[in-house]
């Protein structure tokens, strides 16, 4: 399975000490250089994601080849999202981990399956990797992660909580 991640799911999951769920669910995860730079190179010194992502030997950085496509999409999104989408397309990814609405819309247009941070937590519960989601969502919100109350309610219903 080929999984490409944008920055936000890495930072979100690392902030609540759940980055390992990605490995448990997907195995290897690929990120473009821009996502590595956003998370590790330019990440806040106090960020849990900075250390956890750089230490995770199952996260692999791959440079995007189609720079023209990157430049075309930069009008619509930031570099991390754009490189994530282009890399996913180049690798023929099975999944893209992304939370940002514009990026998710573009993935839908390209017929590339996507899942966000909350969806990852739901999947982890379905596979028995975590027992309840609500405390994890609350931790995400406390760490500054923006989640609409509608999404929280829907996911809790789906999780049977």
Residue 92 lies in domain? 3-158
Please spell the DSSP secondary structure of 57-98, one letter per residue: TTEEEE--S-HHHHHHHTTTS-HHHHHHHHHHHHHT-SEEE-
pLDDT tens sequence across 99-142: 999 999 999 999 999 999 999 999 999 999 999 999 999 999 99
Output the domain CATH number for residue 12. 3.40.50.1010
Question: pLDDT-derived band of residue 45, with 50, 70 and 90 as boundaries?
Answer: low
Question: pLDDT-derived band of residue 39, with 50, 70 and 90 as boundaries?
Answer: very high
pLDDT tens sequence across 89-106: 999 999 999 999 999 999
Supply the pLDDT for residue 42.
85
CA quadruple 61, 67, 86, 17: dihedral, nearest 10: 30
Number of domain units in the chain: 1
Mean predicted confidence (pLDDT) in 75-98: 95
Nearest-angstrom CA–CA distance, 96 and 94: 7
Q: Which pTM was predicted?
A: 0.92
Residue 14's alpha-carbon distances to 9, 17, 148, in angstroms, are 8, 5, 20
Strand partners, 96: 4, 114
Supply the pLDDT for residue 51.
87
Average pLDDT across the chain, whole number: 93
């Amino acid at each position: 399975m080929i999984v490409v991640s944008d920055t936000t799911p890495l930072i979100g999951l690392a902030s609540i000490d759940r980055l390992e769920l990605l490995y448990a669910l997907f195995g290897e995860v690929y990120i473009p250089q821009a996502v590595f730079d956003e998370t590790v190179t330019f990440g806040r010194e106090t960020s849990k994601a900075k250390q956890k992502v750089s230490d995770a030997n199952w996260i692999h950085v791959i440079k995007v080849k189609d720079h023209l496509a990157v430049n075309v999409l930069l009008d619509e999104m930031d570099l991390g999202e754009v490189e994530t989408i282009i890399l996913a397309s180049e690798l023929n990814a099975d999944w893209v981990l992304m939370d940002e609405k514009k990026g998710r819309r573009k993935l839908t247009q390209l017929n590339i399956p996507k899942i966000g941070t909350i969806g990852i937590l739901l999947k982890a519960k379905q596979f028995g990797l975590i027992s309840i989601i609500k405390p994890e969502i609350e931790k995400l919100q406390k760490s500054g992660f923006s989640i609409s109350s509608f999404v929280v309610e829907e996911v809790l219903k789906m999780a049977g909580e």
